[in-house]
Amino acid sequence: MRPFDGRRVLLGVTGGIASYKSVVLARLLTQAGAEVDVVMTRAAQEFVGAITFEAVTGRRSYSEIFGAGNALDHIRLAREASLFVVAPATADFLARAAHGHADDLLTASLLANTAPVVLVPAMNDRMWANSQTARNVKLLRDAGITVLDPEEGPLAAGEGSGPGRMPEPETILAHLGRTLEPPGPLRGRRVVVTAGATRESIDPVRFISNHSTGRMGVAITDAAWRRGADVLLVAAHVQVKPSGGGAVEMVDTVAEMHYAVERALHEADVLVMAAAPADFRPAAPSGSKIKKKAGDDPAPIILTRTEDVLHSTIGSRKKGAVIVGFALETEDLIANGVAKLEQKALDMIVVNSAVEEGAGFGSDTNRVFILTRNGEREDVPLMAKSDLADVILDRVEMLIDGR
């Protein structure tokens, strides 16, 4: 998995209740292709055992700086690391790291390290708000170390809710991927992605929609953010959430999506229209629930066309922007894709089948054809939507480079 495959990650674990999440993070890193070396403080071992990390990484874990055979572990581990992450990073660890202590294996390894560093704080909300913690975090950030902000949410038993909670492992993984991703054409670019299914009301309780879950659009959002882009996701009833950063604007109808896209396009370097907006809406939705009456046939629902978001926003596009569309078809995939490519003035269109097993709505995988304005066609085999997102963005970066 890009960009972890074959990379060595040093994962430091300190003594906090959130260390149980670190086991999941170690597993995710390993599944993504990284080789994970876990360094545990003595306090961390009070919460989770070393054998647990060895079971999910397939590698031994480390904790002692003293003893035969351990003398140079801090140097070797630091030298071999492509990325140094500490999760959770307690208030005590932040203080020791900020002031250059090297009194255990983890802090000594940090001082010997030259790879990028990401610290993930987790503590009580009052400890996070303490002025001394704030000064330590500033010292670390001023030294070029990335310190993530903790999330708000339930804390330890009896402590209620507040800022101090360690982010979920999937969120941390996304930040680590962004740190490891080499600079490319998308870094610093404004990227707008749409995802999900709009809803057009028939009455206050019924609507016209489709089976889109938004998985493909969210995967593209995550991949673009990981590559360093400034991302806006325009989301209509998506069933998954982005794991990375960027802004999210929630919409309901095609009209709302049209407005959001048109407003954002003036500054967008890339638009990826991966959503499935409804093609039709009721011409006169009822203001009250349509009742079913015994013996009566239902009244017909007169439909009218919705706005074509891509076609109607052609005039709003930033000069030189790369515009990518999607086409979900049941027949004549290539011919229909080419027609939409031309009608909507696209640079590239991604075409897939709604009836092929493993592709289309609701699946974690997809198989597509990528068509470009200059007549190129690429048949992309069945793969995870997360991997397909990178294939698509690779082609987008090639288009950016060609401008």
Provide the annotated active-site residues: 210
Q: What is the pLDDT of residue 388?
A: 97
Contact 310, 323 (CB under 8 A): yes
- How much is the pLDDT for 60? 94
Question: Is 2 within a domain?
Answer: no
Q: What confidence score (pLDDT) does residue 321 get?
A: 97
Which of 180, 205, 237 is where one domain is finished? 180
Specify the pLDDT at position 359. Answer: 84
Domain identity same for 235 and 87: no
Per-residue pLDDT at 158: 66
CB contact at 8 A, 235 and 214: yes
Residues 351 and 207 in one domain: yes
Q: What is the CATH number of the domain that holds 164?
A: 3.40.50.1950
Query: What CATH number is given to the structural domain containing 381?
Result: 3.40.50.10300
Q: 282, 201 in Cβ contact below 8 A? A: yes
Block residue for tokens 């400034």: 230
Domain membership flag for residue 1: no
pTM equals: 0.92
What was the pLDDT predicted at 157?
59
- The pLDDT of residue 71: 66
CA–CA dist 215, 222 (Å, integer): 11
Structure tokens at 379: 């048949």
Residue 23, domain extent: 8-180
Tokens of 300: 């017909």
Which of the residues in the chain have pLDDT under 50?
Answer: none
